Amino acid sequence: MRNPRQGRPNRVTISDVGAAAGVSASTVSRVLNGTTKVDPSLAARVHDAVRQLGYRPNAAAQGLARGEWGTIGVLVPDLANPYFPEVLKAVSAVARSHGRRVMVMESDEDPSIEHDLVEDLMRSCDGVLLCSPRMGRADLVVLTARDHPLVLLDRIVPGLAAPAISADFFGGMMLICGHLAQLGHRQVAYLSGPEVSWANAERIRALEAAKAFGLSVTILPCGSTSSCGYAAAAEVAGTGATALTTYNDLVALGAVTRMRELGVRVPEELSVVGFDDIALDHVAHTGLTTVSTPRGQLGRQAAEMLETLMTERHDGEPVYLPMELHVRDSTAPPRVTREPAE
Amino acid sequence: MRNPRQGRPNRVTISDVGAAAGVSASTVSRVLNGTTKVDPSLAARVHDAVRQLGYRPNAAAQGLARGEWGTIGVLVPDLANPYFPEVLKAVSAVARSHGRRVMVMESDEDPSIEHDLVEDLMRSCDGVLLCSPRMGRADLVVLTARDHPLVLLDRIVPGLAAPAISADFFGGMMLICGHLAQLGHRQVAYLSGPEVSWANAERIRALEAAKAFGLSVTILPCGSTSSCGYAAAAEVAGTGATALTTYNDLVALGAVTRMRELGVRVPEELSVVGFDDIALDHVAHTGLTTVSTPRGQLGRQAAEMLETLMTERHDGEPVYLPMELHVRDSTAPPRVTREPAE
DNA sequence: GGCTTGTGAGAAAGCGGTTTCAGGTCGATG
DNA sequence: CATCGACCTGAAACCGCTTTCTCACAAGCC
């Protein structure tokens, strides 16, 4: 049944154009795609017909015939997280410059549906950009094993067939630790992100490594939202920490708000550091010390990787983009140095 | 040329599945779509084959055969504007619940390319959600005249064939004016948004109407970003206004930042009101008085409208969603009442 | 001038599904 | 026991476009 109920839109086909111009459909196609020389006068007639009939080629038919959808897919955990729109923006620009459309999906932070979503993207896109901090390794192996262009974003997993690009979370946290150590802090607390998040693991790995700077770290379970930060902030006092590091800026800002309420002065009594630099500092004047993720570059480069992946085969190593430290008003030397460095 | 270079992904077709299961392709299709009763044992064999071969139907082929792409398209002016991700999130959820994927495009605030983008969406999507505050009326007329489901978001234009839904910007600004009038303000300045923006016009229309409350309004050209607000804030002093209204929260926050720098105390010396409620107040504690746009509901309802539009024909009137006033810390009575109401 | 090249346009064969159409099997019925 | 429907299933047509294949025609060569 051709679903006669709804007059399907855009019913003018390439043959209609051909008929109107007095040529065959093949010729119309050739004119529009410029694949072969055609008689200029015919070409003109075709263009006229196209304009008059308002012809627009059916994307599905083109995709089918060409074996290319002209589309790339992006999966992100949460669109509302200010981190992603910026990435998306860059991806979208790159895709457009290559004549591709962008399909966006969101998993709502639910890793269990991500596999299906990616499969869905794969069957409707030429390539997929996957940003999934939580997806289990097994799923990743299955997906990257499929012979379908896929680039991993902000997630480096050794041994996968797919290329990957990520901000250097480890390096970013090291910058923070260095900054804190230099200020004289020794006891640091960390409001940890999602348990199974790779990005969170990277931060923790850096915190461990920072023991070399003489930092001692207490890890408090928290989450990735400002309300998590707000809720978890109360427990920082018990750790004796003079500085607080966080999974991201949202958590940090939530914590700062709570600290204010608790009468803990920032940074005099407690230094607080964010992560990602999404604090919109120019607008909201939060003055949060943090490290910045190069989100635009991340998106741009990821999209370019995907684009090359769709023509050549993959070769390269995972790419890490450096983060940058922004010292603002939320960090200061600890009030009392516990003891001078031995 | 079939582009033999790149082994096209997902080469297992429905016929392969049929062969593996010892049935015809038609039967496989019937099993997968459940259109007709098929022998249970055959169905089982088919399902096995599907699983073993990892078959996924080619979306383009399905789209072509069914005359439906299973996709809706969304065009927004700027993904990085925190307003849109929330709308998008809701749209995406609704689309998914109807088994549709979402294609996203961004015009980068450039109305001149929007027409093409929409055309592109139309030829690859079953329906289009158009959020374009700037597009000229002529373009809108052309696009809505095409026989293709399209819903207008945050833009009500009388006389168009397409259904429309918008936040009630007029009502929102009236709430603000009422609030300010009640506090005793008489002289109000407005940092105006983009010249040609419909949403901006609505706000101004409300400001005009608020003369009935005894408010006298000075309109200052500004823009839609925080840096615009920052830049334009200096001119407010010259107007004698005791309260400042803005195109949106970003502008307002930029203005507040500048006011702080200029030594103007908010709200003691100047009340400032935002618009949209994207200030992330729970995280950044900006304390900005503003009106909230029901972005989630907007996206949800718009997507539903589009969905019904794709089956039935359109009938209804434009929908306006109410805004809500949030009084926070950035508004207060004026320091000196210029003169008592006559 | 006859024959080989070269050129450009139309016919036709897919791309990978869905859906119509026709036929074959089987149970029920007269 | 022969006939008629129901009901499935496979073959074939079709969705709209691209691309190969084929062929007619014109120009170039000896």
Which residue from B minimizes the CA distance to A89?
Answer: B79
For residue B212, is pLDDT > 50? Answer: yes
- Class of domain A14-57 (CATH, top level): mainly alpha
**Mean pLDDT, residues B254-279 taken together:** 92
pLDDT tier, A7 (very low <50, low <70, confident <90, very high otherwise): very low
d(CA A31, CA A38): 7
For residue B188, is pLDDT > 80? Answer: yes
pLDDT score, position A281 = 58
Domain boundaries, chain B: 14-57, 71-168+295-322, 169-293
pLDDT tier, B276 (very low <50, low <70, confident <90, very high otherwise): very high
For residue A132, is pLDDT > 70? Answer: yes
Which residue from B minimizes the CA distance to A252?
Answer: B283
**Mean pLDDT, residues B132-146 taken together:** 93
The continuous run of DSSP H or E covering B304 comes out as helix B295-309
> What single letter denotes the amino acid at residue B281?
D
pLDDT score, position A316 = 79
Query: CA of A39 vs C1' of D26, distance in Å?
Result: 14
Per the CB < 8 A criterion, the answer to whether B303 and B95 are in contact is yes
pLDDT score, position B287 = 86
What the block records as the tokens of B104 is 């996203």
B116: Cβ contacts below 8 Å, ≥ 6 apart: none
Q: Could you identify the residue whose CA is nearest to the C1' atom of nucleotide C19? A: A1
d(CA B134, CA A152): 36
pLDDT score, position B264 = 95
Q: What is the pLDDT of residues A216-243, one digit of tens each?
A: 999 999 999 888 999 999 999 999 999 9
Fold (topology level) of B71-168+295-322: Rossmann fold (3.40.50)
**Mean pLDDT, residues B109-120 taken together:** 94
* Contacting residues 14-73/A vs strand C (CB within 7 A): 22-27, 30, 36-39, 42, 61, 64-65, 67
Percentage of chain B modeled with pLDDT above 70: 92
d(CA B191, CA B247): 6
pLDDT tier, A279 (very low <50, low <70, confident <90, very high otherwise): low
For residue A293, is pLDDT > 80? Answer: yes
The alpha carbon of residue B88 is apart from the nearest alpha carbon of chain A, in Å, by 8
Q: Which residues of A272-296 are buried (b: 16+ CB within 10 A; e: fewer)?
A: bbbbbbbbbbebbbbebbbbbbbbe
Q: What is the pLDDT of residues A73-129, one digit of tens each?
A: 999 999 988 899 999 999 999 999 999 999 999 999 899 999 999 999 999 999 999
Q: What is the pLDDT of residues A37-52, one digit of tens each?
A: 889 999 999 999 999 9
Q: What is the pLDDT of residues B2-20, one digit of tens each?
A: 333 344 555 899 999 999 9
**Helices within chain A (DSSP H only):** 14-21, 25-33, 40-53, 59-66, 83-97, 111-122, 137-145, 169-183, 198-209, 226-232, 249-262, 281-284, 295-309
pLDDT score, position A10 = 59
Contacting residues of A for B96, CB less than 8 Å apart: 105
- A103 to B103: CB separation less than 8 angstroms, yes or no: yes
**Mean pLDDT, residues B221-232 taken together:** 91
Q: Which CATH architecture group holds B169-293?
A: 3-Layer(aba) Sandwich (3.40)
Of B60, B85, B260, the CB nearest to A60: B60
B135: Cβ contacts below 8 Å, ≥ 6 apart: B111, B114, B115
Domain A169-294 has CATH 3.40.50.2300: yes
pLDDT score, position B161 = 87
Query: CA of B76 vs C1' of D11, distance in Å?
Result: 47
Per the CB < 8 A criterion, the answer to whether A302 and A154 are in contact is no
**Mean pLDDT, residues A174-202 taken together:** 96
DSSP per-residue string spanning A256-314: HHHHHHHT--TTTT-EEE-SB--S-HHHH----BEEE--HHHHHHHHHHHHHHHTTS--
> What single letter denotes the amino acid at residue A90?
A
d(CA B113, CA B77): 11
Q: Report the mean per-residue pLDDT for chain A.
A: 91
Domains A71-168+295-322 and A169-294 share a fold: yes
Query: CA of A26 vs C1' of D22, distance in Å?
Result: 14
Of B10, B89, B311, the CB nearest to A123: B10
Per the CB < 8 A criterion, the answer to whether B89 and A80 are in contact is yes
pLDDT score, position A161 = 87
Of A54, A102, A311, the CB nearest to B6: A311
Query: CA of B53 vs C1' of C15, distance in Å?
Result: 20
For residue B341, is pLDDT > 50? Answer: no
pLDDT tier, A2 (very low <50, low <70, confident <90, very high otherwise): very low
